[in-house]
Structure 1
């Protein structure tokens, strides 16, 4: 059996190092896995230019997928939170089926979402977030270039790490969140990659950020548009299960990857 290569796409404001505990454990199981830092995530301590778009993020992911696919590898994409819309947008022309029709090997075989934003065509991240109650929205501010940053660490920690009881630790983690492109939240989905490949979803039942109803709405979109059932795993966790329930995330990734293994 040949295991797929895995690319893990962080949520907004997130860097791949946030997921090192997950990627290292998955690597130890024999899988190739890499976390990506999206162009839309700007580092707080470095100069930042014009904020990139969702489409820049998708192109960046697609480039990474192409490298693996051209090596003949099957690829599974994992998107957490905002990473969900980014991986959905990125798949055009890169699924294994599409590449096979072009006489090429390798390609995307599965999309896997972790409590993610999964919109229908024509809908943006901001459109989805606007439907979430105000008390569940992280308060953000914008600098003069259009980069978003978290304006209230205490409140953001309560929302994003609602299931983490250590106040000091959760606020320290949120302090590590970076900046994020404001325009990327306004860009609408123009390609529904979930129509083309099987989908897995890690449903976080205690998420106070991407709330359960928002997660259900995304799953319903996928099932309606694709005509296929989503493989759902439920976990009692908040918005950052890689922090609070890491073993469940690791096990879920392995199970999803196993579904995509080929002879």
Structure 2
């Protein structure tokens, strides 16, 4: 069985890496599944080279991001991707007006079962490589358009610290439950797990305690202002399929 692939997407300084690490640490404890995390190759590339890539260097970054994801997906039940090739391909359009990477990036992204889209509601953190807070809104708008036009299922996650993790878990839980049901009894993820109170019990119990419905019913979730106006209604949980 191929790994369940969860993509974390968003503009700069929106908490992708922090959430990816939290999910990587939390999901194995809650589920017993084998969880891998693939880090953002673009960030590694920039740190190594001491600069941002040129237009002609973007394709190799897209390809390497997906190559690493494919390698880590082998032998794991869940893959958490701290972004995918979709992001450097999008930056190629945004920064260089180069749309040549869009089609292959969308094709590769269809292997991901769900995208978690980071809201732009966190404080900006400069790191010497990022463009600046002025770039967040246009990148966010372009990313939402790409997700809609590409037909990719996505959930907007927002809030500070534990709120973001809770929303991500709410969105992922139904997919994890289906994944557990499909695992053979001899899977390394299920061997030795008790029949009751075992796999997913903590995760499902946590979700059952949430007040009210967690269904994301807004028809305007492609609008960046939408989740900002609904912070008091945390957490949205059901992926929107455009």
Same fold per superposition (TM over 0.5): no
**Larger relative contact order (CA 8 Å, sep ≥ 6):** 2
TM-score range, shorter chain: 0.3 to 0.5
Structure with bigger helix share is 2
* TM-score, normalising length: structure 2: 0.43
- TM-score between the two structures when normalised by the length of structure 1: 0.41
